[in-house]
Amino acid sequence: MNRPSTVRYQYPKALSEIPLPIAQAGVLIDINSGFRTSRPVFDHEKCVGCMSCYAVCPEGTIYRGESGLQVDYDFCKGCGICAKECRFKAISMVPEEGENE
Ligand code: SF4
Ligand code: SF4
């Protein structure tokens, strides 16, 4: 039986080895579907612009705005991966209003 050839996964050593963007914006097709319980908020004083958060966001919702990195909250699902990834603790997950009360 012929099997497709496989390649052992090579963990990238630098951000430049990651094909970007990993995900196109709009993976979620409904705007703000309402299940997000917290949202990422950037501390622009701490951010060094390494773009690791952008690289790992599964929805492609992080982008460079005029005042630093921004999030398209219409499509951010609040997974928190970006905050977990940021080594500089520049992203905080803030509860959405009305949640956890
Ligand atoms: S991972 Fe952190 S430091 Fe890097 S660009 Fe994102 S918010 Fe800024
Ligand atoms: S919380 Fe998740 S979906 Fe929202 S910007 Fe961060 S990684 Fe992307």
Using a 6 Å cutoff on CB, does residue 62 contact ligand 2? yes
Instruction: Give residue 10's pLDDT band: very low, low, confident or very high (50, 70, 90).
Output: confident
Please tell me if the CB atom of residue 55 comes closer than 6 angstroms to any atom of ligand 1. no
Ligand whose nearest atom lies closest to the CA of 96: 2
- What is the pLDDT averaged over residues 41-47? 96
| pLDDT on residue 25 | 59
Rounded to an integer, the average pLDDT of 9-26 is 71
Distance of CA 10 from the midpoint of ligand 2 (Å): 25
Higher model confidence: residue 15 or residue 99?
15
Alpha-carbon gap, residue 63 to 72, rounded angstroms: 8
Closest CA to 65 of 77, 47, 39: 47
Residue 99 has pLDDT above 80, yes or no: no
Report which residue type is found at 4.
Answer: P
CATH class, domain 18-24+37-95, is: alpha beta
Find the 75 Cα to ligand 2 centroid distance in Å. Answer: 9
- Domain residue spans in the chain? 18-24+37-95
Whole-number pLDDT of residue 47: 96
